[in-house]
Amino acid sequence: MMKKSLLIFLLSGITAFASAQKNKWSPWIMPEAGIVAGALNPAADFRLTTGVRLKQMRLGAGVAFDEYRDHSYPIYLQVSRQMKWRKWNPFVFSSAGYNLRSGTDSMFTWFGQRVETYRGGLYGEVGLGLALKVRKQERLYISLTQSYKRSSSTFLENRWLGPGNLITVPTTEVYRMNRLGIRAGWRFGK
């Protein structure tokens, strides 16, 4: 599943670069690394976003590796707007997509082994930051973000209702994670 998603992401980036050459759109790509935290301990957040720019607006698509609570792979579309204020270049952005999370895990309980099946869910993010000029077509981006990630796990739970009375109940746990993050990225392109 991850290989197909990565292939689709790369093909969309190549298509964006090809169409950018015909129009006034300028292609760009930006790797980022950061830390996210919420109710749990801080965790790593790595992402790669590519897209096109027209004047101050940027449209992009990206894929991330996120370790907050569980390993997952958000795939998203992003819109951002950069402004000019005195000598500063602040920007705002928003992302929306899907959080890929799959697989199974086995754990020991009082009643034996329990197998959990994981699924992904919605992914969204808003943020603001500052772009610092490094070279003619390279920028250092520092951003603060608020993001939402959803995932779920399904398993068969054994419940004891008294002597000789044990039932098995299908159970789904849904995790909704709101997190604050700080990231640094290096954008290549205009």
pLDDT digits (tens, 9 = 90+) for 143-166: 999 999 888 888 888 777 888 787
Pick the CATH number of 2-189 from 3.20.20.140, 2.40.160.20, 1.10.238.10, 3.30.450.90: 2.40.160.20
Token pair for 73 = 């792979």
| Interatomic CA distance for residues 87 and 78, integer angstroms | 25
Phi, psi of 132 (to 5 degrees): -115, 125
Could you read off the pLDDT of 163-186 as tens digits, one per residue? Answer: 878 788 888 888 888 899 999 999
Contacts of 138 by beta carbon, 8 Å cutoff, 6+ apart: 186, 187, 188
Per the model's pLDDT, the better-predicted residue between 30 and 6 turns out to be: 30
Give the end-to-end CA distance of the chain in Å, rounded to a whole number: 32
| Interatomic CA distance for residues 82 and 21, integer angstroms | 22
